[in-house]
Each structure stands twice: as C-alpha cells, then as structure tokens.
A and B are shown apart, each in its own frame.
Chain A
Amino acid sequence: MNKLFKMEFANLKKEKLLWIGLIIILSLVLLFNLLFLLYRYVNGVPDYALFSNLTFNATLGIGGITGNIGLIMLIIVLLHNFQYGTIRSQITVGYSRTEIFFSNLIICLALGLGIYLISILFSLGISILFFSGASLVFSTVIKSILYGLLINALVICFICFIAFSTASMWVTIIVTVAINALTSTITAITAFISGFSNVTFINFLPWVQITYIQQGGVDVLKWWQVVPVNIVLSGLLIYFTILIFKKKDIK
C-alpha cells in the first residue's frame, strides 16, 4: 500500500486543481474576515469582542461554501483513477481492491481534514490578530473543531462510498450536493421550529450537526451521542464500500 500512497501523492502534487481549490478556499476565508474588518471601520463599532466572536462563527458559516469546494475537489481526486482508467493498472499489477480503497480513503481523509483544519486555523488566526479573539470561548472553539473533524471524516467516508459504488464523478457530485441541500433545509426547518435548542434527534443526524456547528449551535450537541453515532456510521460506510467495490466489474 506504501507504493500506492507514494504514487498518489506524487500525482496529487502536480494536480493544479488541488492548489487552485486550496487558494480559493483560503482567499474566501481571508475575504470574509477582511469584510468584517472593513465593516468595523466604516461603522465604528467599538465592541471588538463582539466582532471576534461573530467572525469565528461566520467563518465556520462560510465553511458551507469552502466545504463544498473542498468536497468537489475530493471527489475529483477520488475519481480521477476511474476517469482515466488508471485504476485498472493498479488492479492488474496486483494491488487488492481493499488496498486501493484504503489508500484512496486515507488520502482523502488527510486532504479533506487537512483543508478543514487549515481554513479553520487560518480564520482563527485572523480573528485573534484583528479582533483580539477576546470573546472566543476556548472550549467552544476546540469542541467545534473536534466535532468538525469527526463529521467531516464521516462525510468523506460517505463520498468514498458513493464514488466507489458508482465510479461516476457526476453521480457522486450530484448526490453529495443534494444531500447537503437536503440537510440544510432540514436544519433550517429544525432551527425555525426549535431554535438551537436541545433537540435529541440532531445528535443522530451528522449532516444537520455540521450546519448547527457552522451556526454556532455546538453547545446543544451531546458528545456521548454524537461521537458513537459518527464512528459507527463511518465504520458501516467503509464496510459496505469494500463489500461493493470488491465485487464490482471495472469498465
């Protein structure tokens, strides 16, 4: 599997799309923060603390946009071997399908979670630099980041499941975007009905949890429900992906 990793990383290093995507994501984070800075100067709002808090939450909010860009990047990275037919070489030269799946999954996890962490830390850094970060509650920030990692890992497992089951870039993109749209709607409805109050079933809906975290509702989540649910779901997705991919005819 080491050779597969080495090959994929050597290939990804030359993937312009990846670097362009990363630059777009970081530019969006920077732009969003600078807009707040500008707003502060124009309106002369003196409460720095208020803005630092707003910025952090809002930056998590634009995770919806940056996250989608990141997801599409991941899908393209995941499926480029299917698209070019190079997965056939990997299979024929003797790598097992399980090895191929795990090498792709691990690369996507590293890439996806890496992008997530970079954009969050970048945003946090700007927030602290310009707005002192005074009203940031340390435990909330850490909780948000950890939940974010866990849920993003599950989302990546889900994308891998669709990608390896269908081997189709468009199906994977459409399904992923559709799920995002659906869950955003569910969240909006849930929030409208209950506000960000403690609604038990949210702890069992990872996609809804993302939106909650993005909108600053992290404190309503119960870790003893969220963590096991996300781990079990990720495990099940990995299991079924391997099961399907091992029996799949490759065109």
Chain B
Amino acid sequence: MELNNIIEAKNLVKMYQNTYALDNVSLNIQKGDIYGLVGENGAGKTTLLRAIAKLIFPKSGILEVKENMVMTSLIEVPSLYLNRTAYDNLYYQSILLGLETSEVDKTLEMIGIQKGSVKVKNFSLGMRQRLAVGMCIMGNPDIILFDEPLNSVDPEGIIDIRNLIKKINEEYGTTIIISSHGLEELSKVANRYGFMRQGKVIKEITKEEIAKSCGSYLSIKVPDANLAAEAIGNKFIFGKVNDTTINVKGDVSVTEVVKVLNDAGINIESINTQTIGIENYYIQLMRSYHE
C-alpha cells in the first residue's frame, strides 16, 4: 500500500445473481480525503461502501484498508437500538470504541440532541439520521463511511452536519467517504470525487480539476448565431448552442465581448454569466459515457 493511501481497491468484483454490482473497481483514497462517491441509483456506491466496511466480500480483487484504523459507518439506514434512548445508543458505541463516557455528552451536544428518556423509535427520521451521524463521528475515528448522510435531515441539520464533517476532517484529519445524490451539498465538503456507473468507477477527479473544467461562460442571445460566431472568430473560445445562442467560454470580460459584437454590428438581445457546477459536470460525464 502506498504511504499516503488509507484505502486501496484493485479490480474489485461483486456480483448479485448475474448482475455486476462492482465491475473491476479500482480506486485509492488518501488520508484526510473527503471523497465523494457519485452515481445514479444502482451504480454500486453502496456496495463499494459495504465492501470497505467489511460487511460484504468481493468475489475477486484486492481491498486494503490501512492497519489499525478505526472506522465507523452509516450505510443506508441508521443502525440504532430503537427501544433505547439516544444516550444509550451513543453509550454502547462509546463502549465499542473504548471511549470515555464524557464523549457521549459531548457528542449529544454536537449533534443537537438533548439527553432525555425519549426512545429512538419515537424520533423523526431526521433525528435518527443526526444520531447515526453522531455515532459515526464520536471519538474522531480515522475513517468514516457515509451513505446519504443527509437523508430526511432538515435544512438546519444539513448545515450542522456539513460543519461537523468539515470540522472533524480539518481538526483530526479524518478520512471521510460520502455517497450522495445531493451533488451541490457534496461539492461544499468533498475534495475528491469518484463517479460511478453500472458498477464501474468511470472517473476520479479532484475538486480543483472539476473547477478548472467547469468554470463559467457567457451565454449570448443574438438574432443570428452564425454571424456572431464569425465576428468572435478566434478571439474567444466559443460554442454554438443553437441558431440564436452562442456560449463564450473561459474567464472573459463581458465588456470586451460586447464591444467585439457591437463593432460587427450585431445586436445583442441578452447576455448572462453562467456557472457550470458539479451537477452539469455530472450530467455531461454521464451523457458522454452513455454515448
């Protein structure tokens, strides 16, 4: 295993009946990464997390997790004793992890759940999710696996959990793998991404690389896109969207583009700055893979 890697997967294969849940998956996750696993339903994200969590066994391939790492997980549904209180659940987890009892109160405070006699079965889904997140972060483990950690969580809770994830990662260097369909939310914490489709990791990319390949562009509506394209020529990088719209890519000055078009006598109907976010990146990637 390479020095910086905390998890290494090579050619993992897992099949359910005759379908590949993981199809030759290889990836490396480094210490301190917040790694976003992205993909459509059934892409293999949860299966990969389960394999890392040692809950399932791949049919073939090598999966290595650095030795003596404390790992916790929240995969699909929260694993909680429903007929116990939040305190009890955290207390049992603290015993499993060999932590002081004081960690339980600290965690309850962090996740914003009051110590009381209410049993978890009477909690809302969001509260259960918060508690399950608390059980994962308690004691600052080395690796945390989150599968849709923000499911059913209210907006305030989403912000709290996001901040907790950032805090634990920054302060303790905890490696966190998050599988989520909430791409915009994921983009606020993740520094690396693995895009999955049909059991394969089709692209691994850093946050910086995404920003570079996304960035912003100007969307310009004109009466004739061909004339506008001719005028812009090789001054800017552009793409014709349709007969009346062209996109000018890169970090360009709006004034400069307007001047060029005005000089060519082209009437600009509208001009907008657009940002290509992770969602657009994902859609484009999936489309290109499909094509």
- Assess whether A3 is in contact with B98, with CB atoms less than 8 Å apart: yes
Task: Tell me whether chain B's interface is mostly helix, strand or loop, or mixed.
Answer: loop
Residue in B closest to A4 when the chains form the complex, CB atoms: B96
- Assess whether B57 is in contact with A3, with CB atoms less than 8 Å apart: no
Which B residues lie at the A interface, using CB under 8 A?
A: 50, 53-57, 70-73, 75, 77-82, 84, 88, 91-93, 95-98, 135, 141, 145
Count class of interface residues, chain A: 20 to 34
- Assess whether A84 is in contact with B81, with CB atoms less than 8 Å apart: yes
| A68 CB–B CB distance under 8 Å | no
A1-26 CB contacts (< 8 Å) to partner B: 3-4, 6-7, 10-11, 14
A72-88 CB contacts (< 8 Å) to partner B: 80, 84-88
- Assess whether A3 is in contact with B95, with CB atoms less than 8 Å apart: yes
Contact of B53 among A86, A91, A247 (CB under 8 A): A91
Which residues of the partner chain B approach A92 to less than 8 Å between Cβ atoms?
53-55, 71-73, 145
Which A residues lie at the B interface, using CB under 8 A?
A: 3-4, 6-7, 10-11, 14, 80, 84-95, 247, 249-250
- Assess whether A14 is in contact with B57, with CB atoms less than 8 Å apart: no
A249–B50 Cα distance when bound, in Å, is 9
- Chain A nearest CB from B99 CB (Å) reads 10
A89–B70 Cα distance when bound, in Å, is 11
Which residues of the partner chain B approach A86 to less than 8 Å between Cβ atoms?
79-81, 92
- Pairs A–B under 8 Å by Cβ, sample size 8: A6-B95, A10-B91, A14-B84, A84-B82, A88-B75, A91-B53, A93-B71, A249-B55
- Assess whether B73 is in contact with A249, with CB atoms less than 8 Å apart: no
- Assess whether A250 is in contact with B56, with CB atoms less than 8 Å apart: yes
Contact of A88 among B73, B81, B141 (CB under 8 A): B73
- Chain B nearest CB from A245 CB (Å) reads 12
A13–B73 Cα distance when bound, in Å, is 26
Closest 10 CB pairs of A and B: A85-B79, A249-B56, A7-B95, A250-B55, A92-B53, A92-B73, A86-B79, A7-B92, A88-B79, A6-B95
Q: A7-B95, A250-B56 are in contact. List 16 more A-B contacts (CB 8 A).
A: A3-B95, A10-B92, A11-B81, A11-B88, A14-B84, A14-B88, A80-B81, A84-B81, A85-B78, A85-B79, A88-B79, A89-B72, A89-B73, A91-B55, A93-B141, A250-B55
Which residues of the partner chain A approach B93 to less than 8 Å between Cβ atoms?
89
Contact of B96 among A84, A90, A249 (CB under 8 A): A90
Given contacts A92-B55, A92-B73, A94-B70, whether A84 and B95 have CB atoms under 8 Å apart is no
Which residues of the partner chain A approach B82 to less than 8 Å between Cβ atoms?
84
Which residues of the partner chain A approach B73 to less than 8 Å between Cβ atoms?
88-89, 92
A89–B54 Cα distance when bound, in Å, is 10
- Chain B nearest CB from A80 CB (Å) reads 7
Given contacts A89-B79, A92-B71, A93-B72, whether A11 and B57 have CB atoms under 8 Å apart is no
Interface core residue of B54, B56, B145 (most chain A CB under 10 Å): B54
- Assess whether B71 is in contact with A11, with CB atoms less than 8 Å apart: no
Residue in B closest to A9 when the chains form the complex, CB atoms: B95
A4–B72 Cα distance when bound, in Å, is 16
Residue in B closest to A11 when the chains form the complex, CB atoms: B92
- Assess whether A84 is in contact with B79, with CB atoms less than 8 Å apart: yes
- Assess whether B81 is in contact with A247, with CB atoms less than 8 Å apart: no
Which residues of the partner chain B approach A250 to less than 8 Å between Cβ atoms?
50, 55-56
Contact of A7 among B54, B55, B72, B96 (CB under 8 A): B96
Which residues of the partner chain A approach B50 to less than 8 Å between Cβ atoms?
249-250
Which residues of the partner chain B approach A87 to less than 8 Å between Cβ atoms?
79
- Chain A nearest CB from B9 CB (Å) reads 16
- Assess whether B84 is in contact with A249, with CB atoms less than 8 Å apart: no
A95–B72 Cα distance when bound, in Å, is 12
Which residues of the partner chain B approach A84 to less than 8 Å between Cβ atoms?
79-82
Which residues of the partner chain B approach A14 to less than 8 Å between Cβ atoms?
84, 88
A89–B144 Cα distance when bound, in Å, is 11
- Assess whether A93 is in contact with B70, with CB atoms less than 8 Å apart: yes
Which residues of the partner chain A approach B79 to less than 8 Å between Cβ atoms?
84-89
Which residues of the partner chain A approach B71 to less than 8 Å between Cβ atoms?
92-94
Residue in B closest to A84 when the chains form the complex, CB atoms: B81
Residue in A closest to B14 when the chains form the complex, CB atoms: A249
A92–B50 Cα distance when bound, in Å, is 9
Which residues of the partner chain B approach A90 to less than 8 Å between Cβ atoms?
96
- Assess whether B84 is in contact with A11, with CB atoms less than 8 Å apart: yes
A250–B53 Cα distance when bound, in Å, is 10
- Chain A nearest CB from B12 CB (Å) reads 14
Residue in B closest to A251 when the chains form the complex, CB atoms: B55
Which residues of the partner chain A approach B54 to less than 8 Å between Cβ atoms?
91-92
- Assess whether B57 is in contact with A247, with CB atoms less than 8 Å apart: yes
